[in-house]
Amino acid sequence: MERTTAISFNYLDLPSNLVTPVDLISMKAQVYGYIPKLRFRITEGNQGGWFNVTKRGLADGGALTGTVMLVRPLQGPFATTLRLDMDRLNNANLVVGRSIAYITVYVSKYNF
C-alpha cells in the first residue's frame, strides 16, 4: 500500500433530534483520466449506527464523492469522532492508497 495521502480534521455542531436523513459532510476523489475504484467506510465512532456513508457518481467536474449522512436522530448532549476512510483499490481490490477524515460531531442538548 502507498502511504496515506491526506488526513483531515472536521468539526460539526448539530442540534438535538435533527430530522433525518441529512447529509453532513463529503469527501471527494479527483479523477485524472480514469475512474478509480474507491471504497468509502466509517471505521470508528459509529457504534450506535447513527451514520452511513454513500458513494455518489461523478460530479463537480470529475469527482467521486462519499457523503456521510445522519440516518437516525441524536439526542444531546452527545459527542463522537467518526473516522472516514477513502480507500483507492487496484484491479485485485487491494488497497493501494488511503485518505482519512476525522469528523468530530457535537450534538447540543437543545433542538435549535
Please tell me which residue, 1 or 101, carries the higher pLDDT value.
101
Cell of 79: 459527542
pLDDT (0 to 100) of residue 36: 73
Residue 112 included in any domain: no
Domain containing residue 78: CATH number: 2.60.40.60
Beta pairing, strands 78-89 & 63-70: unpaired
Is the confidence at residue 6, as pLDDT, over 60? yes
- Quote the pTM value: 0.84
The number of domains in the chain is 1
Residue 34 included in any domain: yes
Closest Cα to residue 77, out of 20, 17, 9? 17
The boundaries of the domain holding residue 102 are: 6-107
Residue 57 included in any domain: yes
Please tell me which residue, 2 or 10, carries the higher pLDDT value.
10
pLDDT in tens, 38-74: 899 999 999 999 999 998 876 555 568 899 999 999 9
Beta pairing, strands 95-107 & 37-44: unpaired
Measured torsion, CA atoms of residues 43, 45, 47, 50, in degrees rounded to the nearest 10: -100
